[in-house]
């Protein structure tokens, strides 16, 4: 049986990340595991018409830290830590998983396909291919149809 002592939950604060967060908390509770909650920020370069890279305005690290700190497991018995790192998301997720000896990574996926995936890549796919431990990816639940 897989021993799960440390669960890494990378978040980008999106809907798929919320679905993964709920599952990560449930697994941490059930396995009595430590939960590492990670957000990696890195503004993508934006290219002006003349080809010069111009950075996008980004959320301040203090604001990101506050958003991250707001993520607290619903069960007070779950030990957890927050980490805010700057860099390329997949690379930083993999580094932290290695450094902290994560037994499982639970992360959301946006499910991009086609041209969007070729142009931007998929953080979840990079992590899946290179992770030192099992990776559980979660897509946001489909919203129910609105009855009118």
What residues does each domain of the chain span?
A: 6-44+52-136
Structure tokens at 141: 């639940």
Given a cut of 60, whether residue 145 has pLDDT beyond it is no
- Model pLDDT for residues 72-87, shown as the tens digit of each residue: 999 999 999 999 999 9
- Model pLDDT for residues 34-62, shown as the tens digit of each residue: 999 999 997 656 666 666 666 555 668 88
Pick the CATH number of 6-44+52-136 from 3.30.160.340, 1.10.3470.10, 3.40.50.620, 3.30.70.1380: 3.40.50.620
Task: Please indicate, yes or no, whether the overall pTM of this predicted structure exceeds 0.85.
Answer: no
Report angle CA 11, 15, 21 to the nearest 5 degrees: 45
Strand ranges for 1-77 from DSSP E = 6-10, 34-41, 45-47, 53-55
For residue 116, the model assigns a pLDDT of 45
Rounded average pLDDT over 5-20: 92
For residue 62, the model assigns a pLDDT of 85
């Amino acid at each position: 049986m897989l021993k799960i002592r440390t669960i890494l939950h990378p978040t980008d604060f999106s809907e798929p990340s919320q679905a993964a967060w709920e599952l990560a908390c449930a697994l941490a509770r059930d396995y009595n595991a430590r939960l590492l909650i990670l957000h990696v920020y890195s503004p993508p370069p934006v290219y002006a018409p003349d080809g010069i890279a111009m950075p996008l305005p980004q959320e301040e690290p203090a604001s990101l830290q506050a958003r991250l700190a707001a993520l607290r497991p619903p069960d007070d018995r779950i030990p957890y830590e927050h980490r805010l790192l700057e860099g390329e998301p997949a690379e930083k997720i993999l580094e932290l998983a290695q450094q902290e000896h994560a037994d499982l990574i639970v992360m959301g996926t946006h499910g991009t396909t086609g041209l969007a995936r070729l142009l931007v890549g998929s953080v979840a796919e990079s992590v899946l291919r290179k992770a030192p431990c099992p990776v559980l990816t979660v897509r946001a639940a489909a919203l129910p149809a609105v009855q009118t």
